[in-house]
């Protein structure tokens, strides 16, 4: 299993009476491509925070790629995230003042990979695979179009060869043409690298790209908790 959640309960420290997550059990097989949808404020980002190790549950077990995140300390979770998890946001996926290459080098800097000799080649190969033109590699990413930025964002998320890719509403700021282009680039890359993909969005029209389609409400049982 790529993800296993058991008896998860979560609320933010400042609002102890407002439970955000109550997940008795949920899992995602390795190599699966799952689409989870839900309304805004429904706990999607909190779920992703738990899976990436930025948050820890009040109760329960979070197992990602066979490792218990809830028993790791903060530094261990940071290292685990850098080495194993790729992440794409809706926006601000890149340091706007760094160029595309430096953005990817920054991402590799936090992982424990020691492949500096081949890093540059890997980055160039990834850019080529994602149809990022060479003249776009060395300009600050804020000078790129939104579509181009999202492609560099995919490259940034994939550069450390993560086993799990988390996408948090990555197409929300794209128009239909760019959204389709994004999905048509992303899905083959995920398949090629045999990654597990957890894609969270409120845009149900994207569900056709996925083998597994779920609503957060199906496994987040807030009524039981209250």
Q: Name which position in 83, 129, 181, 187 contacts other proteins (CB under 8 A).
A: 83
Report H helices in the chain: 44-52, 74-84, 100-110, 116-129, 146-158, 176-192, 216-219, 222-225
- 119 near other proteins, rule: CB under 8 A: no
- 55 near other proteins, rule: CB under 8 A: yes
Stretch that binds other proteins, among 30-38, 82-90, 182-190, 213-221 (CB under 8 A): 82-90
Stretch that binds other proteins, among 27-35, 106-114, 121-129, 205-213 (CB under 8 A): 106-114
Task: Tell me how far CA of residue 79 lies from CA of 17, 73, 93, 105, 193, in angstroms.
Answer: 32, 10, 19, 16, 21
Residues 6-45 that bind other proteins (CB under 8 A): 45
From the CB of 180, what's the least distance to other proteins, in Å? Answer: 25
From the CB of 95, what's the least distance to other proteins, in Å? Answer: 7
What letter would DSSP give residue 135? G
Distance between CA 34 and CA 94 in Å, rounded? Answer: 24
- 116 near other proteins, rule: CB under 8 A: no
From the CB of 128, what's the least distance to other proteins, in Å? Answer: 22
Number of residues that bind other proteins (CB under 8 A): 30
Distance between CA 85 and CA 37 in Å, rounded? Answer: 20
* CA atoms lying within 13 Å on the CB side of residue 218: 10
Q: Which residues would be at the binding site for other proteins (CB under 8 A)?
A: 45-46, 49, 52, 54-55, 74-75, 78-79, 81-83, 87, 89, 92-98, 102, 105-107, 109-111, 156
């Amino acid at each position: 299993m790529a993800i296993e959640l058991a008896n998860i309960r979560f609320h933010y420290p400042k609002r102890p009476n407002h439970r955000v997550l109550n997940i008795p059990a949920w899992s995602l097989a390795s190599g699966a491509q799952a689409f989870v949808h839900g309304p805004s404020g429904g706990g999607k980002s909190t779920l992703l925070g738990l899976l990436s190790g930025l948050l820890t549950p009040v109760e329960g077990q979070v197992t990602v790629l066979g490792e218990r995140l809830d028993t790791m300390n903060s530094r261990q979770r940071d290292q685990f995230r850098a080495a194993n998890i790729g992440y794409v946001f809706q926006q601000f996926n890149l340091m706007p003042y760094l160029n595309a290459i430096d953005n990817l080098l920054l991402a590799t800097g936090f992982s424990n990979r020691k492949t500096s000799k081949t890093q540059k080649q890997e980055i160039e190969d990834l850019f080529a695979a994602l149809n990022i033109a060479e003249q776009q590699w060395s300009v600050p990413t804020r000078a790129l179009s939104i579509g181009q930025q999202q492609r560099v964002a995919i490259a940034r998320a994939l550069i450390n060869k993560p086993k799990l890719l988390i996408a948090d509403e990555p197409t929300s700021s794209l128009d239909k043409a760019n959204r389709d282009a994004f999905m048509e680039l992303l899905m083959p890359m995920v398949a090629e690298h045999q990654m597990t993909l957890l894609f969270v969005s409120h845009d149900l029209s994207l569900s056709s790209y996925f083998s597994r389609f779920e609503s957060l409400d199906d496994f987040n049982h807030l009524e039981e908790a209250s």
